[in-house]
Amino acid sequence: MSAPGNRPRPVGVGDFAPDFTLPDQHGRTVRFSDLRTRNGHAGPAVLFFYPKNFTPACTREACVFRDEYERFTDAGASVVGVSGDDPASHAKFAAAHRLPFTLLSDADGAVRRLYGVPASLVLFPGRVTYVLDAAGVVAMVFNSQFRPAEHVRRAIDTLRGIRAKA
Torsion-angle region of 48 (φ positive above 0: left; ψ -120 to 50: alpha; else: beta): beta
- Report in angstroms the alpha-carbon separations of 4 from 7, 8, 51, 111, 162: 6, 10, 24, 18, 37
Phi, psi of 122 (to 5 degrees): 65, -30
Q: Which of 17, 45, 58, 62 is catalytic?
A: 58
Beta bridge partners of 41: 38
63 is catalytic: no
Annotated catalytic residues are 58
